[in-house]
Amino acid sequence: QVQLVESGGGLVQAGGSLRLSCAASGRIFRFNVMGWYRQAPGKQRELVATITSGGNTNYQDSVKGRFTISRLNAENTVYLQMNSLKAEDTAVYYCNLVWLGVDYWGQGTQVTVSS
């Protein structure tokens, strides 16, 4: 079964940076989509960014120019470099992988940005 293990969450000051990592393990088809979603208290889970195995990326408008998603295909590892963090970025960030139409999720990692 596919398992996603996240790391890199924590507390940062507004304007600071944080780098999230997520490594997927298991029997995963090479061509998949990995990404990051986030959920703030009382809010719906929302897309942050996704990246295909071919390198095609998609970003939520609010993070464009501040966040960068990247991946290492050989390891099925995805990263999210977050710069110029704002208090509004505070949320639980979830790693996501889609393979054969099935969504797999990480446990979530808390990102807290202090004002």
Q: Which phi-psi region, left, alpha or beta, contains residue 89 (left: φ > 0; alpha: ψ -120 to 50)?
A: alpha
| Residue at 80: amino acid letter | L
* pLDDT reported for residue 39: 98
Average pLDDT across the chain, whole number: 95
Six-digit token pair at 22? 């997520």
Residue segments in the chain with a per-residue pLDDT below the cut of 50: none
Determine what percent of the chain is predicted with pLDDT higher than 90: 86
